[in-house]
Amino acid sequence: MRSVKWSLLGLIAVLGAACLSGCGQTAEAPAQTSSSPSVSSAPAKQEPAKPPEPITLSWYVNATIPEATFNTSFKAPIEKKYNFITLQYVSPKKKLVDLVATQEIPDVLYIDNTTLYPDVVDLNLQFDLTATAKKFNFDFTRLEPSLIDAVKQYSTKGELFAMPSIRQPLATIYNKDIFDKFGVAYPKDFMTWDDALELGKKLTRKDGSVDYFGLKTSGQGHMYREMALGFFDASKEKAAVETPAWQAVGKMLTAIGDIAPQGQAAKSFATTGAYLQATDTAMFAGSVGALLRDAEAVGKKLNWDMATYPVFKEAPKTGPRALGLVYVVTGTGKHKDEAFQTIAYMLSDEMQGQMSRSGIDLTPLNKPEILNMFALDNPAVRAKHWQAMVTLTPAKASISRYDSIAAKVMSDKLDKELLSGSGKDVNTLLREATEEIDKKVAEAKQ
């Protein structure tokens, strides 16, 4: 019996030693003495988390956003979400190149995507957001894919120098009263440019003392994007606009000018604002942002609605690329993480839902439940066929470093000179544009 007891005691001792060894303890650990501190089972008291240090983030804001709108749409919600952040408005009246010269570079830029090269890359303000977005677990699948694809074209290495803010709202606005007056059916979605031209012919006429325009456009700027055209060859530095596709754009603009009231071809190129002030134009194809911002007032003057932006028959369901305003975190800022967090919050479902309900901007999110909230708080827009702005599939972007130079030349040639009565045909103007673009690019590279 005694031998059994000793055997059990020996087994317990072996198991106890194994446990101590497995738990990372050593046999040489000193025994606790009366002078050793007693072991307490109560959890250690943790110090409360230190609140973040207050910071100020300066935001340079696009000229279309008044300071009052910035305060209500950006400053107030961001400062409420992050009570240690103060947003400072930087007026767009100040040029970024001047702010760089005086070392007053903003932390965040809220700008049109077409200025990313001249205002960001050329001034060496770019910062790749890829790692920062990953750090904060930003889910890019929430965003409309074409917008991210377009932004990445502003880098030769696929870097992310900006985040999309809105989709550009493009459509065909039409004056229902003019259509009703002359007994012509309203435009329909997926209308081609040829269809729009034929409708325009029916509505262009003189009635009493009024010359009615059947169709006006914002020019070649959205047409070429709809065809996924670029200005340059594969080198991205030599002009390549003497092509059949560019000729098609020029010929369509010529045809639209040809149906204008006699001697008024130049007026077929117009801005959205000019259309909204007129009562003599049946249709306008272009950006409708100005309309959305002032829809209630416009509705008192124009009985309007919208259809999809006209398409080319070669791509019957494809519209212009949709990238509009973007957010940029500048590479010189001291608070890049916090700057990104403010942008990510603006792109949250919460904030995008509020923006969508306002009916002023189109969400960049790829979420039908957010998009379908559009203009719920804006009856003047909700009652219209707003879906026309998001029905077409955005074309793939084709972006180059010197696009801002080429875009100015092409606008001068096709939007203005072509319709000015200069007598030059499309081919001549495209040849002149090629020479002028190459010359200006060469100068810019010096």
Residues 316 and 330 in one domain: no
Q: What is the pLDDT of residue 45?
A: 65
Q: What is the pLDDT of residue 10?
A: 39
Residues 248 and 181 in one domain: yes
Answer yes or no: is pLDDT of 428 > 70.
yes
| Residue 12 belongs to some domain of the structure | no
| Residue 41 belongs to some domain of the structure | no
Q: How many residues does the chain have?
A: 446
Residues 240 and 380 in one domain: no
Q: What is the pLDDT of residue 44?
A: 60
259-295: per-residue pLDDT in tens? 999 999 999 999 999 999 889 999 999 999 999 999 9
Q: Are 336 and 348 in contact (CB under 8 A)?
A: no
Q: What is the mean pLDDT of residues 302-321?
A: 96
Task: Report residue 419's pLDDT band, with 50, 70 and 90 as the boundaries.
Answer: confident
Closest CA to 74 of 235, 85, 84, 232: 85
- C-alpha to C-alpha distance for 111 and 270, rounded to whole angstroms: 23
Residues 381 and 417 in one domain: no
Q: What is the pLDDT of residue 22?
A: 40
Neighbours of 328 (CB within 10 A): 28
Q: What is the pLDDT of residue 420?
A: 86
Q: How far is CA 302 from CA 115, 175, 220, 275, in A?
A: 33, 6, 26, 10
Q: What is the mean pLDDT of residues 358-372?
A: 97
What's the domain count of the chain?
A: 2
Residues 249 and 344 in one domain: no
196-243: per-residue pLDDT in tens? 999 999 999 999 999 999 999 999 999 999 999 999 998 889 999 999
Q: Are 70 and 94 in contact (CB under 8 A)?
A: no
Range of the domain at 139: 55-166+322-394
Question: Which residues, in sequence order, are CB contacts of 272 under 8 Å at separation 6+?
Answer: 173, 218, 284, 286, 287, 288, 289, 290, 291
3-state helix, strand, coil in the chain (%, to 5): 45, 15, 40
Task: Report residue 31's pLDDT band, with 50, 70 and 90 as the boundaries.
Answer: very low
Specify the CATH number for the domain of residue 208: 3.40.190.10
Residues 259 and 388 in one domain: no
Q: What is the pLDDT of residue 30?
A: 41
Q: What is the pLDDT of residue 349?
A: 98
Question: Which residues, in sequence order, are CB contacts of 336 under 8 Å at separation 6+?
Answer: 107, 127, 132, 329
Q: What is the pLDDT of residue 318?
A: 97
% of the chain at pLDDT higher than 90: 83
Task: Report residue 39's pLDDT band, with 50, 70 and 90 as the boundaries.
Answer: very low
DSSP-assigned beta bridge partners for residue 285 = 172, 217
Of 370, 394, 418, the last residue of a domain is 394
Residues 143 and 234 in one domain: no
Answer yes or no: is pLDDT of 1 > 60.
no
Q: What is the mean pLDDT of residues 162-188?
A: 97
Question: Which residues, in sequence order, are CB contacts of 385 under 8 Å at separation 6+?
Answer: 305, 306, 307
Could you tell me the two tokens for 433? 């544009």
Q: What is the mean pLDDT of residues 344-368?
A: 97
Q: What is the pLDDT of residue 371?
A: 97
Mean pLDDT of the chain, nearest integer = 90
Beta strands 108-112 and 163-164, pairing class:
unpaired
The residue type at 439: K
Answer yes or no: is pLDDT of 28 > 80.
no
Burial letters 333-360, b for 16+ CB under 10 A, else e: bebbebbbbbbbebbeeebbbebbbbbb
For the chain, how long is the longest CA-to-CA vector? 128
Q: What is the pLDDT of residue 47?
A: 72
